[in-house]
Structure 1
Amino acid sequence: MEINKQLLETLFAEATENPCLNQNFDLCTSSADMSQRMLNALLPGTKVSIHRHEDTTETVICLCGKLDEVIYEEVILYENGMSGFPHGMDVQDVSRKVEYREIQRIHLCPAEARYGCQIPKGAWHTVEVIEPSVIFEAKDGAYKS
């Protein structure tokens, strides 16, 4: 298989038809693969929830386009067992309240010689798409849905 302009154009066309404004292309060759490898076409407006991979780093290489990988730290505002709940809130009402504070923004754009990054294991992160982009993503371990 060749990763070429035609494949990327196909992925962009499929992303345009997807309400999520992205399209994945799995590069694993069998269900027995012990790594995750994919291409991901992302259009501006793509929403990727802040998430983390507790057991693996994630490698991201930008093949074309422009985007920011954004890294966060989790800030625990309160959780069951902690004092200091807001007035009128009962401990039974919430188990945990957190927010995420941006700590790093990694700009990726191959035209600017900014090709990729490695997201540390367990780091909270998301992506903000500036212009239509295709990234290669790789993570350790078999995919778990």
Structure 2
Amino acid sequence: MKIIDEQLLNEVSVQAKESPRLRKNYNFHQSLDEKCHRFINAVEPGTEVPIHKHPTKDETFVILRGKVRVTTHRDDGSIIEDVVLCAEDGRYGVNIPKGLWHTIEALEPNSVIFECKEGQFVEHEVDGILNVEEK
């Protein structure tokens, strides 16, 4: 059993701060080929998560610590919905349906979310990242 506690969140947050991407995953799945990917994602302000979609997979985010903004987008990049996840404010998570453009933004240092989505891992293809400059 792996306990998700303050110590684990702190360890992953330190790794996120030291990462050039300003984010770090801690995977609970043993392989990228597993049918369900479960992980915590420590994100720091300034990390860049491109607007992307998963054509065949729903994705769920649950806030464990801090604040993150989740936005969903139309094909032209305009925002459909914008929500700040913060346990203190009673907004704990979102489920993003498959095929919907979305991104996250860390609003506070040491923010950590739990993510779950269907495996297998597939690198984003050209049509999986939204390039609003081309629109």
Check whether TM > 0.5.
yes
Deviation at 1:142, TM superposition (A): 1.7
Q: CA RMSD in A?
A: 1.2
Provide the residue aligned with 1:64 in structure 2.
65
**Residue of structure 2 aligned with 1:106, choices 54, 77, 83:** 83
User: Structure 1 residues 32 and 45 mapped into 2: Cα distance closer, same or farther (>3 Å)?
Assistant: closer
Provide the residue aligned with 1:125 in structure 2.
102
Provide the residue aligned with 2:53 in structure 1.
52
User: Which sections of structure 2, spanning at least 5 residues, go unmatched?
Assistant: 124-135
User: Which sections of structure 1, spanning at least 5 residues, go unmatched?
Assistant: 76-99
Name the larger-Rg structure. 1
1:50 corresponds to which letter in structure 2?
Answer: I
Deviation at 1:121, TM superposition (A): 0.7
Deviation at 1:138, TM superposition (A): 0.7
- Tell me the TM-score normalized by structure 2: 0.85
Provide the residue aligned with 2:16 in structure 1.
15
Of 12-21 and 24-33, the range deviating more from structure 2: 24-33
User: Structure 1 residues 26 and 72 mapped into 2: Cα distance closer, same or farther (>3 Å)?
Assistant: same
Task: Extract structure 1 runs of 4+ deviating beyond 4 A.
Answer: none
Provide the residue aligned with 2:127 in structure 1.
none
**Residue of structure 2 aligned with 1:136, choices 114, 117, 132:** 114
What are the Cα deviations for residues 74-114 of structure 1, in whole angstroms up to 9, with x where unaligned?
Answer: 03xxxxxxxxxxxxxxxxxxxxxxxx111100210011111
User: Which structure exhibits the higher relative contact order, with contacts defined as CA atoms closer than 8 Å and separated by 6 or more residues?
Assistant: 1
1:139 corresponds to which letter in structure 2?
Answer: K
- Tell me the TM-score normalized by structure 1: 0.79
- Number of residue pairs the alignment of both structures matches: 121
Deviation at 1:30, TM superposition (A): 4.0
Identical aligned pairs, as a percentage?
40
Matches within 5 A, 1:20-59: 20-59=21-60
Cα distance in 2 between the residues matched to 1:32 and 1:72 = 28
Cα distance in 2 between the residues matched to 1:30 and 1:64 = 26
1:67 corresponds to which letter in structure 2?
Answer: V
1:129 corresponds to which letter in structure 2?
Answer: A
